[in-house]
Amino acid sequence: MTTMTDASVREFKMPDVGEGLTEAEILKWYVQVGDTVTDGQVVCEVETAKAAVELPIPYDGVVRDLRFPEGTTVDVGTSIIAIDVSGKAPAEAPAEAAEVPAAAAAPAAAPEKKPEGRQPVLVGYGVAASSTKRRPRKGPEVPIQQASVAIQTELNGHGPAPADPAPTAPAVPAAAAGQSRPLAKPPVRKLAKDLGVDLTTVIPSGPDGIITREDVHAAVTATETPVPAPVVPQAQAQAPVTVPAAPAASYDAARETRVPVKGVRKATAQAMVGSAFTAPHVTEFVTVDVTRTLKLVEDLKQDKDFTGLRVNPLLLIAKALLVAIKRNPDINASWDETNQEIVLKHYVNLGIAAATPRGLIVPNIKDAHAKALPQLAQELGELVTTAKEGRTSPTAMQGGTVTITNVGVFGVDTGTPILPPGESAILAVGAIKLQPWVHKGKVKPRQVTTLALSFDHRLIDGELGSKVLADVAAILEQPKKLITWA
């Protein structure tokens, strides 16, 4: 078994794979104990609040231990895998000592200095599902001679059967079982804290003694209506002691489905609430004839400079917004609450809202203001493709300044979008529909859409927001202004 004092063992800790992230869930292990790994080899996939990321190991060696099973949420800086860099395969341990509870663990040595090595490569936003097979959670490893069969039988429920039948032991809280710290995921710990529940008093029902949300709620119910469990000395026990079962869920599983809020959905919810209640939103609308823009789209598809590139109305709408920002640069800014300053930005990282299987994400095109139309088309196509395939990296979703959301693809006329945190404006594009329109004094069928611009009224007045929206509309109605205004 691996010990923390073994100089040949390197502990690989959960890295911070994005700005300010504090935890990540282990989605899938790609290696097993005893496997040989090389520097740079991907060993697992984890999901953060922003994306799913594959983590490479920065060592050559043999896997000695996987510290957590799949599906476990781990704090940044916590060791998740141990690698024996000496290259020796781990020795076979007797079956009866294969799993040792935390209560029998020897005191761990002082944390090792973080080893040097290559930082994890951010592969991107994966769509791999968590495996349904869960390996047991392993506590700190101890010498084999400390693995007491009696402790295993009492706490883990396995091991050699006693000579005389013994009563079934009731479930007990982690503290009573000798564990120094109850096993629970960070969201469950937060729930317990919010409800004022001491986790050391909670009876776990999850696999490997992990406390679940239901256990916390059951503890609250038990506190409101206490039901003392009988205490019977083992020597006098004549019949099994039965502890009242936890109350059933308060919802009908046949009529409702409950989905844990985590990952991208959790991050999106927190960001939208923070933005909606921090930045005072103003939304303005304009309906515009985009018939000439659609004709230009068809012409560009035949242009050799756009061969192999995705050319659609969104491309010209993006270019129109960039030109409007160039004409009205003060809209490209952010509000610095700490320093009470307005930060004017001389670059545009153009965000494109994208719906993915994991939820809404907003990757952005870096320095979009400096790109020619063919280059903008190429990067816009790559951004959309990467998002749909679930490969968007956390870096691609950071640093946006202004965003476009195309709700028209769903047949919606328009909307009142909420600003991504830290951004000054977001443009919603509605569905393009053939409508009767007055053109050159006559009512004719024209291609029409409605635009909506939401902006932060702390730093953008109505006049400035109106000018930007009017400029975008003017360009889409008369695309030749891309030449005269650019």
Catalytic residue positions, numbered: 457
Q: Is the dihedral of CA 107, 113, 117, 123 positive or negative?
A: positive
What is the SS3 assignment for 459? coil
Q: Strand ranges (DSSP E) for 254-315? A: 281-289
Distance (Å, rounded) from C-alpha 82 to C-alpha 2? 8
How many other CB atoms are there within 10 angstroms of residue 207's CB atom?
13
Sorted by sequence, the CB contacts under 8 Å of residue 416 that are 6+ apart come out as 281, 283, 428, 452, 454
Write out the DSSP string of 96-114.
GGS---GGGPPPPPPPPPP
Sorted by sequence, the CB contacts under 8 Å of residue 59 that are 6+ apart come out as 10, 12, 37, 39, 83, 85, 115, 117
DSSP 8-state class, residue 123: -
Sorted by sequence, the CB contacts under 8 Å of residue 314 that are 6+ apart come out as 352, 380, 404, 406, 429
What is the SS3 assignment for 187? helix
Angle in degrees, CA 131, 199, 243, rounded to 5: 85
Distance (Å, rounded) from C-alpha 312 to C-alpha 293? 10
Sorted by sequence, the CB contacts under 8 Å of residue 63 that are 6+ apart come out as 31, 32, 33, 34, 35, 36, 37, 43, 81, 82, 83, 84
Sorted by sequence, the CB contacts under 8 Å of residue 340 that are 6+ apart come out as none
CA 219 to chain centre: 29
